[in-house]
Chain A
């Protein structure tokens, strides 16, 4: 089944006004990017975990995200440790001073490793943050939310129908891989990286052709239902900010401010490992 799709439920997060969710998502994305302290990131991680739990989202999914991200995180750590200069190097620089482009780089710095781990952690928290919005909001709520925030409705639906197509594309990719496996084509399971890259078109071509057909058919279907006929449209769903929506909004903004403030105070922690 698809990785990021709407997950039915009636939690606080599900009931929250989509506009509040959207703004908070943007705000917290910025906070995660702005924070360099491990402790604050840790708090954010715990917070998002709590949101997952309260919305009844499947926590087993997190393991999968981590598995997908492992390669990326390892890559970040290696790059950072190679090129971020620090005071403690585990290995002497590979490139001598005066080497073009990378003079005196190619070491394994302790600071780089710590930085890499931080970036990886940040990435993971970010990836966790997304589903708290996408998996608790129906595409219609998203669309209406965006329109109410001033986006033209055609653009709002462009965004939401694309999200709507993800699960069927994922299903189709699985079917294609299974169908190809039946022909003794098992590169994606057993092949080496280079073989996988070479085999990629075999998966992508049918997938893209299928997606284009689907998109075209979707266009026809929406035309047939008068989508885009008028400058505006009406909505069955009315969004109204309730007291609890406002309360959650202000509380979360306050918390974000506190976290940013905390990060500022904890600057000492950052400067501590900056000295490595």
Chain B
């Protein structure tokens, strides 16, 4: 057995089903993780990623039962013959949302929790706590309580507390899904640091960004089957198109590469970093120095009438002496799509709650639909403005999808049977929920829950609809669908306010964008203008999209970039057209 000297984990023709009679969840998986390598496992929601992760630490089959065929070898030893506690030392697992899984209260206690279970000596534990606090860069928060940490610090603590058990393999489950770009970058740096220390890493994700260029191997999982594996450059060149259709976010650089291939250009290597993409574009002669990339400017005409909502100098505190909003002025006009962006804790949600009346505006002035906010009651205000919550389950009140919509209709004063049925059908059809109309809301798929959440909020024809984090816990397809629904609603004259830190969505959909940071508004205007001022994004801890970063680099090279380019698709169109013209 020389294998164990080279590989940390080997999967030999592994298939798995939860129950004998059910279909297999994982089919004929065959792959290995080289010692000290950095691997990325990517797949859309429901592809079997978490089931696969459970195979590493022996939870499956030891605790979960089910039928396992083939063999999983960790450090040369089959998981079926290993004890779970031994596997726990070998394979560390950082959960997607470590915060809700912390077993203790303080940062130091949490790091020590694992080693304590493994009966490490006290002095050894104390030493490793010191080392890990230092390594993950959370030393200054050592005495903090876990719930006072920011999203990025929570991920670092999750990682530290797993590292404390001295594992050989670390699995990270979507560590950056809810982090702002600055924190994301820090987590990425930490991952590279671990790799340099010889730890085998498996990063599980449903979206790929340019960090993928650092990986040694990518594994693509779809419906329980491994449809691709290999180094990122070869794999994306070979299977990029297929991965794209799965509904996985790809970095814009790769989207450009794929677009070029679709247009008939042959690439030797898939560009992943900005530099590589520019090199590809130059070497193919698609962009030449001194040339221009011209796009039509996005024309946004604010409707001339009075704004629906007008806030001036709003300050707001939750009563702990700290101000969540420190003087925000914001107008919302009829029929526009406004994006409010900023990192977690910038004041976005506080503002949303003010608009729907859950927070009361005490300092500054806030007019909602021609009436001061103080004179509105929440249920009455709900007829004019609605909020689609991040977790749609919180809004459900009844036992079936139909009842759920009826409830909303009735609370808007529609009791006539025929009218009720008519309105209900209209909403079910619009959001494609007719098939599941008799199901229990809690039993729906994540996507359908989200749709139902939107459906109930559309009742009563609100004038403004707020969507909280449309990308939260969604893969690309779901986000796209949700945004298309939003656009359709906007066309009916409803103003949409989306709260997000995803600049790609802003670039693609928003008419206007407001940047929040630390309770203040730093920018309010058309997205194209925002991307001209990278400093503002930096102070708000946000990051330009890869496409915009690249356009910035092109400008530095003397290429004239004009107008609004909302995504890679329109970028490709422009440069290909330029070629044709020439």
How many angstroms from the CA of A168 to the CA of B119 in the assembled complex?
30
Q: Choose the segment among B100-108, B368-376, B487-495, B522-530 that binds chain A (4+ C-beta atoms closer than 8 Å).
A: B100-108
Interface residues of B in 97-148 (CB under 8 A from A): 97-98, 100-106, 108-109, 112-122, 125-126, 129, 145, 147
Cβ–Cβ contact B108 & A236, under 8 A:
yes
Q: A87 on the interface (CB 8 Å rule)?
A: no
Contacts of A157 in B (CB 8 A): 103
Contact with B along A200-221 (1 / 0, CB 8 A): 0010011001100010011011
In this complex, the interface size class of chain B, counting residues with CB under 8 Å from chain A, is 35 or more
Nearest opposing residue in chain A for B83, CB measure: A229
The secondary structure that dominates the B interface is: helix
Query: Is the C-beta of B411 less than 8 angstroms from some C-beta in chain A?
Result: yes
A229 → B minimal CB distance (Å): 3
B126 touches A236 (CB 8 A): yes
Interface status of B382 (Cβ within 8 A of chain A) = yes
Stretch in B208-216, B229-237, B385-393, B431-439 touching the partner:
B385-393
Whether A138 lies near B394 (C-beta < 8 A) is: no
A183-B382, A233-B117, A235-B122 known; A221+B393 contact, CB < 8 A: no
Chain B residue numbers with a CB within 8 Å of A8 are: 145
Is the CB–CB distance between A226 and B85 below 8 Å?
Answer: yes
Contacts of B125 in A (CB 8 A): 234, 236
Chain A interface, number of residues (Cβ within 8 angstroms):
47
Asked if A6 is an interface residue, CB under 8 A from chain B, the answer is yes
Contact A225 B162, beta carbon cutoff 8 Å: yes
Contact B119 A223 (CB under 8 A): no
Q: Are A180 and B397 in contact (CB under 8 A)?
A: yes
CB distance from B147 to the nearest CB of A (A): 7
* Segment at the B interface, from A38-46, A112-120, A171-179, A241-249: A171-179
Interface residues of B in 431-449 (CB under 8 A from A): 442
Is the pair B407, A183 in contact by a Cβ cutoff of 8 Å? yes
Picked from A186, A221, A235, A236, the residue with its CB within 8 Å of the CB of B103 is A221
Contact check, B118 vs A229: say whether CB atoms are below 8 A apart.
Answer: yes
Chain A interfacial positions (CB closer than 8 Å to B): 6, 8, 138-140, 157, 161, 164, 167-168, 175-176, 178-186, 202, 205-206, 209-210, 214, 217-218, 220-230, 232-238
A161 contacts B358, C-beta separation under 8 Å: no
CB distance from B344 to the nearest CB of A (A): 15
Given that A180-B394, A233-B116 are known contacts, is A223 also in contact with B88, CB under 8 Å in the complex? yes
Check B396–A236 contact: CB distance below 8 A: no
A-B contact pairs, 14 of them (CB 8 A): A140-B109, A182-B386, A183-B382, A183-B395, A183-B397, A184-B379, A185-B411, A206-B442, A224-B95, A227-B117, A233-B118, A234-B116, A234-B119, A236-B129
Extra contacts besides A206-B394, A226-B89 (7): CB < 8 Å: A140-B109, A182-B386, A182-B389, A209-B442, A221-B103, A225-B117, A234-B116
Chain B contacts of A161 at CB under 8 A?
103
B560 in the interface (beta carbon within 8 A): no
Q: Is B63 an interface residue (CB 8 A)?
A: yes
User: Please, which residues of chain A bring their CB within 8 A of the CB of B92?
Assistant: 224
Q: Which residue of A lies closest to B398 (CB)?
A: A202
Check if B382 sits within 8 Å of A184, measured CB to CB. Answer: yes
Chain B residues within an 8 Å CB radius of A234: 115-116, 119-122, 125
Residues of B within 8 A of A205 (CB): 442
Q: How far is the CA of A167 from the CA of B83 in the complex (A)?
A: 35
Give Cα A139 to B113, complex, Å.
12
Residues in chain B within 8 A of chain A (CB atoms): 57, 59, 63, 83-85, 88-89, 92-93, 95, 97-98, 100-106, 108-109, 112-122, 125-126, 129, 145, 147, 161-162, 165, 353, 356, 358, 378-379, 382, 386-387, 389, 391, 393-398, 407-408, 411-412, 442, 456-457
CA of A15 to CA of B457, assembled, Å: 51
**Minimum C-beta distance from B57 to chain A (A):** 6
B276 to chain A, nearest CB (A): 37
**CB closest residue in chain A, given B442:** A209
Asked whether, in the complex, the Cβ of A230 is within 8 Å of the Cβ of B100, the reply is no
Q: Is the CB of B63 within 8 A of A223?
A: yes
**Would you list the 6 A-B pairs with minimal beta carbon distance, nearest first?**
A229-B85, A221-B101, A184-B411, A179-B394, A236-B112, A226-B88
- Nearest opposing residue in chain A for B117, CB measure: A226
Q: Which residues of A contact B63 (CB under 8 A)?
A: 223
Q: Which B residues lie within 8 Å of A186 (CB)?
A: 378-379
B101 contacts A218, C-beta separation under 8 Å: yes
Taking the closest CB of chain A, its distance from the CB of B149, in whole angstroms, is: 14
B-side contacts of A185, CB under 8 Å: 397, 411
CA distance A140 to B110 in the complex (A): 9
**Complex CA–CA separation, A68 to B126 (angstroms):** 43
Nearest Cβ distance between residue B559 and chain A, in whole angstroms?
48
Q: Specify which chain A residues have a CB less than 8 angstroms from the CB of B116 in the assembled complex.
A: 233-236
Given contacts A182-B386, A185-B411, A235-B122, contact A140 B394 (CB under 8 A): no
